[in-house]
Amino acid sequence: MNGESVVFWITAIFAVVGALGMVLSRKAVHSALWVAFAMVNLAVLYFTLQAPFLATTQIVVYTGAVMMLFLFVLMIVGVDSSDSLLETLKGQRLLATLFGLAFGALLLSGVASTIALRDNGLDVANGDYGGNIQGIAHLVFNRYLLAFEVTSALLITAVIGAMVLAHRERWAPRKTQAELSRERTFTSQVTPLPNPGVLARHNAVDTPALLPDGTPSQASLPKQFRETSHEDEAAKEVTS
Amino acid sequence: MTAALIGLPLFGATVLLLGGRRTNAWGHYFAVAMSASSFFVGVATFMSMLGRSAEDRTIETHLFDWIAVGSFQVPFGLQIDQLSIAFVLLITGVGTLIHIYSIGYMAHDENRRKFFAYLNLFVAAMLLLVLANNYFLLYVGWEGVGLASYLLISFWQHKPSAAVAGKKAFVVNRVGDVGLSLAVMLMFVTFGTVTFSGVSAAAGNGDATSLKLIGFALLLAACGKSAQFPLQSWLLDAMEGPTPVSALIHAATMVTAGVYLIVRAHAIFDLSETARTAVVVIGAITLLLGAFIGTAKDDIKKGLAGSTMSQIGYMILAAGLGPVGYVFAIFHLLTHGMFKAGLFLGAGSVMHGVNDDVNMRHYGALRGAMKITYVTFGLGFLAIIGIPPFAGFWSKDEIIKVAFEQNTLVGLCTLVGAGVTAFYMTRMMTMTFFGEARWEKDVHPHESPSTMTIPMIILAVGSAFGGLLLLFVGDIEAWLEPVTGFATSTEAGGMAWLMPTTLLVIAAGVAYAWNTYGRRPVPVVAPAEVSLLTRAARNDAYGDAINEAIFMRPGLHLTRALVWFDTKGIDGFIGGFAALIGGLSARGRKLQNGYARSYALTMLGGAALIAFVLYLVRL
Amino acid sequence: MNPNNYLILAGILFTIGAFGVVVRRNAIIVFMSVEMMLNAANLAFATAARTTGTLDGQVAAFFVMVVAAAEVVVGLAIIVTIFRTRRSASIDEANLLKY
């Protein structure tokens, strides 16, 4: 048992636990956290694989940026929206288990039995240009320059695509301040609307505030969360 | 010059067909002019040919390369030689006379212009047939005359019988045309060329089997076009067409194309004894069969049609006898073209006079009412039965003589044929012009207009003196010899008894017919109680019934079986297969359930499968 | 330390990710599962870099990360759009494209 083995076994087990936790969690937020956990462990494994650049990127890009993006979207969609674990498609779970086990078993037995890998180590490669990052930079800006340039096009396309998809046309002209104040003054709701989550068990954006008499107030929710109250969702779960 | 022969009538046909009703007023004169100018061109060509020596008389005109595919070279070339010019003069000469006759005959027909267009078309096609310098181009003319014949037989298509007769002629001719196309293909395979000169030159190189097959195929073609046994049945029905058509196409010219074909391909037949024997047998059978049918027909045109079959049988028989017979086949063809056209025109004139009635039992004693017709028909009658010195005597007598020299049995056939010919022609003559009048009530026989009588007179003159002119002035044997070859018989002198015998047989036939029909009254309604033979002859020797039993019924059953197989078997299989695919697809469609997770599951299964396969092959 | 262990770990993570894609209905969790599969692939790439003694595998993993980032951006945008119209993040709800 050298140091690498110790680190590997601990992080490997953590990573598998994280992955399983992602699949088995009922709530999306929990899944996201499990994924972040597994990814951090993977970053540690990259260190043992003599890839410090990848390890850093893994933490910065994946756990830092991508997973945070996931959490933002979860905020929009509703932090509390939990998945029913009841399967609706007939035979889906059974077949998925069967195929998953078969695929995994075949993959692992194949890896274990047929490939005898030599551990060449990256000491030489990392040392060629004075470090791992320098070595990767050399490859990216020489041999893989074209691919690198193409990824820039891919990224800009993705950004524009995301903007186009998330964009909504304004159908009515923007209301002026005068209109807004008039609206507010001459409707029944003079006071500001309650914020979501006030006095409730969650402060998530999709949790309605509780009124003094204990009834949830739909008016406290942003528009896209109204109507689909917790009661409705619960009813949906039962029927499905 | 040669192209103009064909071009003039073709131009006439084109103008009349494309010009439409605008040409109604002058169309028939135009057609006559085209035909006549073609005749004059023919005469001019003939004159210039006379001025040259025998070897230089063939003129080949190469118009353009028609088909050039690899080694298959067919020129669009015309060839005019001693044989062709004889046909050209016959076709354009008789053709022009019949054009003139038709002006009177078709005067009251509203489609007269179309009729003349078709006649011009026929003349052009027939000229192409006899002027082509290769068998392929000949085939074009061959089909062209077939088309014209079809159009003209069913000219009065408002009569179902005419429409059916045209179709029948077309279908039966098609059998013969297959023979011709086979012959052309075989010639190309065997000799590598389809030109007349090429085939003649190369005929010696062909093996016996190929020559025999080509000969049989040509004979089949000749049988179809010339109404020879066993393809004779269409000619009798073809009499549904207008009488000038019967005279021009189904007596004088088109039906003799088979004889032309055999004589033209003499190089093949010279070398194949078997093919020649087959030709003689077919000719002999048809000669007797046609005469047999002619004896019992009450329809004047059908009687003449049987006679035509019989006379062409003579020609085919003569052509089958080889070099000793080719010249006489053509000689008889020319004389027959004149006297038979004259007879048909006479029959047309009689019909014209008795309200288009064709039944001879309603005629009788017409000689007083139709004097010119009587005389011209009589001259034709004398010519066909072979009374010297009229045309038929010279040609038929030569054939009988040659036949006896070659084979006594064949000779006897021709002799009997001559006797029967005398019988049925005398029967026709007496029933039409002698005896007492058996006219229908409102019939007032009258002589035809001069447009009709003048051609009849000219043809009658030809019938009377044509044979003499051709044999002694024209010396047809020497004239045709460079083209067809001519061999005089070795024992020419030993047949002195033959001519008196022939005349005796003819006299017996005439006497028997006169005894039966001239001296006793002819019943107006054909007697029903007749012998089996008479009944057979009235039914065209059961030709249609035999065709129906041998070809039509089995064909019908075969077709029904095929249709059944097609609907039940093939359609069933295809339809069943389609239904199977459709059913499977309808079920397979359910896999597209819209759930992305199902698709992902399928992919996962596929990935597992691929991993399994990779594991098996240890990659 | 046998590099096969890393590959086996990658295989396990990949299989779990695939399983997650197939059984979970929340579109965001499905996406996370996809990310997990991509990470497993990255781990295999990094292992390959070590066994071959070259850095090409690490560069490949780097490119995978770039593509994954782009994919996440667009994918999440799609999820948000679908949520707006159907008020649900379940991928089973979006099943109109069928027979």
Which residues are CB-contacts of B473 (< 8 A; sequence separation ≥ 6)? Answer: none
Contact A74 C28 (CB under 8 A): yes
Whether the CB-CB separation of B426 and B513 falls below 8 Å is answered with yes
Tell me the pTM. 0.63
Please give the helix or strand (H or E) that residue B512 lies within, else none.
helix B498-513
Q: Cα(B41)–Cα(B5) distance, rounded to whole angstroms? A: 6
Query: In terms of DSSP bridges, do strands A216-217 and A209-210 run parallel, antiparallel, or are they unpaired?
Result: antiparallel
Q: How confident is the model at residue A3 (pLDDT cuts 50, 70, 90)?
A: confident
A25: number of CA atoms within 13 Å, CB side?
24
Q: How far is CA B225 from CA B147, B257, B369, in A?
A: 12, 7, 37
Tokens (6 digits) for A228? 């689909």
Task: Note every long-range contact of B485-488, with CB atoms under 8 Å and residues 24 or more positions apart, other chains counting.
Answer: B485/B266, B485/B270, B485/B323, B485/B326, B486/B323, B486/B324, B486/B326, B486/B327, B487/B322, B487/B323, B487/B324, B488/B324
Q: Which residues pair with B74 in a beta bridge?
A: B67
For chain B, the structural domain boundaries read: 272-538, 547-618
C-alpha distance from A125 to closest chain B C-alpha (Å): 28
| Nearest CA among B334, B337, B372, B386 for reference residue B456 | B372
Which residues are CB-contacts of B517 (< 8 A; sequence separation ≥ 6)? Answer: B426, B427, B430, B431, B435
Whether the CB-CB separation of A132 and C48 falls below 8 Å is answered with no
Whether the CB-CB separation of A221 and A196 falls below 8 Å is answered with yes
Q: Residues of C2-23 as b/e, b for ≥16 C-beta within 10 angstroms?
A: ebbbbbbbbbbbbbbbbbbbbb
- Number of Cβ within 10 Å of residue B4's Cβ equals 14
From the list A38, A49, A136, which residue is nearest C47 (CB)? A49
Which residues are CB-contacts of B24 (< 8 A; sequence separation ≥ 6)? Answer: B112, B113
Mean pLDDT of C6-14: 92
Residue stretches of chain B with pLDDT short of 70:
489-494, 541, 619
Contact B601 A106 (CB under 8 A): no
Residue A9, chain B, CB below 8 Å: the answer is no
Nearest CA in chain A to B608: A103
Tokens (6 digits) for A149? 């340039």
pLDDT of A240: 45
User: Which residues in chain C are closer than 8 Å to A81, comparing Cβ atoms?
Assistant: 26, 89
- For residue A11, pLDDT over 90 is answered with yes
Percent of chain C with pLDDT over 90: 49
Contact B597 C91 (CB under 8 A): yes
pLDDT digits (tens, 9 = 90+) for C15-53: 999 999 998 888 889 999 999 999 999 999 999 998 888
Q: How far is CA C81 from CA A201, B243, C28, C43, C90, in A?
A: 28, 91, 13, 32, 13
Judged on CB neighbours under 10 Å (0-12, 13-18, 19+), A227 is exposed
Q: Which residues pair with B134 in a beta bridge?
A: B195
From the list A92, A99, A103, which residue is nearest B597 (CB)? A92
Q: Cα(B181)–Cα(B59) distance, rounded to whole angstroms? A: 26
Residue B158, chain C, CB below 8 Å: the answer is no
**Mean residue pLDDT across chain A:** 83
Which residues are CB-contacts of B547 (< 8 A; sequence separation ≥ 6)? Answer: B233
User: Which residues in chain A are closer than 8 Å to B595, comparing Cβ atoms?
Assistant: 89
Q: How confident is the model at residue A203 (pLDDT cuts 50, 70, 90)?
A: confident
Judged on CB neighbours under 10 Å (0-12, 13-18, 19+), B234 is buried
Backbone conformation region of residue B540, classed left if phi is above 0, alpha if psi is from -120 to 50, else beta: left
Which residues are CB-contacts of A4 (< 8 A; sequence separation ≥ 6)? Answer: A48, C1
Give the ranges where B386-475 is alpha helix by DSSP (H).
Answer: 391-406, 408-433, 450-468
Chain position carrying tokens 């007032």: B444
Whether the CB-CB separation of B346 and B380 falls below 8 Å is answered with yes
Interhelix angle B257-264/B300-320, nearest 10 degrees = 0
C24 CA to centre of own chain? 14
Nearest CA in chain B to A104: B608
Interhelix angle C27-52/A67-77, nearest 10 degrees = 170
Q: Which residues of B touch A (CB under 8 A)?
A: 595, 597-598, 601, 604-605, 607-608, 611-612, 614-615, 618
Residue C16, chain B, CB below 8 Å: the answer is no
User: Which residues in chain B are closer than 8 Å to A114, comparing Cβ atoms?
Assistant: 618
Whether the CB-CB separation of B392 and B384 falls below 8 Å is answered with yes
pLDDT of C61: 94
Q: Cα(B432)–Cα(B367) distance, rounded to whole angstroms? A: 8
Contact B594 C22 (CB under 8 A): no
Contact A96 B601 (CB under 8 A): yes
- The dihedrals phi and psi of B354, each to the nearest 5 degrees, come to -120, 40
Residue A97, chain C, CB below 8 Å: the answer is yes
Q: Which of A92, A93, A103 to mutate to test the interface with B (most CBs of B within 10 A)?
A: A103
pLDDT of A9: 93
Residue B508, chain C, CB below 8 Å: the answer is no
pLDDT of B516: 83
Strands (E), B236-331: none
pLDDT of B365: 78
Q: How far is CA A150 from CA A5, B170, B387, C62, C69, in A?
A: 38, 76, 110, 14, 14
Q: Which residues pair with B73 in a beta bridge?
A: B68
Contact A111 C7 (CB under 8 A): yes
User: Which residues in chain B are closer than 8 Å to A99, comparing Cβ atoms?
Assistant: 601, 604-605, 608
Q: Which of A1, A37, A61, A66 to mutate to test the interface with C (most CBs of C within 10 A)?
A: A66
Mean pLDDT of A174-196: 80
- For residue A229, pLDDT over 50 is answered with no
Residues B341/B343/B349/B350 CA torsion (nearest 10 deg): -160
Q: What is the DSSP letter of B592?
A: -
Q: Cα(C99)–Cα(C24) distance, rounded to whole angstroms? A: 23
Contact C91 B596 (CB under 8 A): yes
pLDDT digits (tens, 9 = 90+) for B83-115: 888 899 999 999 999 999 888 888 888 888 889
Q: Which residues pair with A183 in a beta bridge?
A: none
Whether the CB-CB separation of B39 and B88 falls below 8 Å is answered with no
Residue C94, chain A, CB below 8 Å: the answer is no
Contact C98 B593 (CB under 8 A): yes
pLDDT of A114: 61
Q: What is the DSSP letter of B229?
A: T
pLDDT of B271: 86
From the list B590, B594, B597, which residue is nearest C97 (CB)? B594
C-alpha distance from A186 to closest chain C C-alpha (Å): 30
From the list C2, C50, C68, which residue is nearest A49 (CB)? C50
From the list B592, B597, B607, which residue is nearest C98 (CB)? B592
Q: What is the DSSP string of A176-210?
A: PHHHHHHHHHHSS--SPPPPTTTTSS---TTSPEE
Please give the helix or strand (H or E) that residue B141 lies within, else none.
helix B135-153
- Please tell me which chains touch C, using 3 or more CB pairs under 8 Å as the contact test: A, B
Contact C74 A162 (CB under 8 A): yes
C-alpha distance from B70 to closest chain A C-alpha (Å): 57
C-alpha distance from A216 to closest chain C C-alpha (Å): 19
- Single-letter code of the amino acid located at C18: A
Q: Cα(A158)–Cα(A165) distance, rounded to whole angstroms? A: 10
Q: Which of B584, B585, B590, B595 to mutate to test the interface with C (most CBs of C within 10 A)?
A: B595
Contact C9 A87 (CB under 8 A): no
Q: Cα(A198)–Cα(A221) distance, rounded to whole angstroms? A: 11
Q: Per this entry, what is the length of chain C?
A: 99
B388 CA to centre of own chain? 28
Q: How confident is the model at residue A224 (pLDDT cuts 50, 70, 90)?
A: low
Dihedral (CA of C68, C71, C77, C83) sign: negative
From the list B598, B601, B618, which residue is nearest A99 (CB)? B601
From the list C21, C94, C96, which residue is nearest B600 (CB)? C21
Whether the CB-CB separation of B540 and B293 falls below 8 Å is answered with yes
pLDDT of B52: 82
User: Which residues in chain A are closer than 8 Å to C71, comparing Cβ atoms?
Assistant: 158
Tokens (6 digits) for C35? 């990310």
| Nearest CA among B428, B438, B313, B452 for reference residue B380 | B428
ipTM of the complex: 0.92
pLDDT digits (tens, 9 = 90+) for B35-78: 999 999 999 988 888 888 777 788 888 888 888 888 888 888 88
Q: Kindly state the greatest CA–CA separation across chain A.
A: 79
Dihedral (CA of A99, A100, A106, A110) sign: positive
Nearest CA in chain A to B600: A96
Tokens (6 digits) for A181? 């104040």
Q: Cα(B326)–Cα(B199) distance, rounded to whole angstroms? A: 18
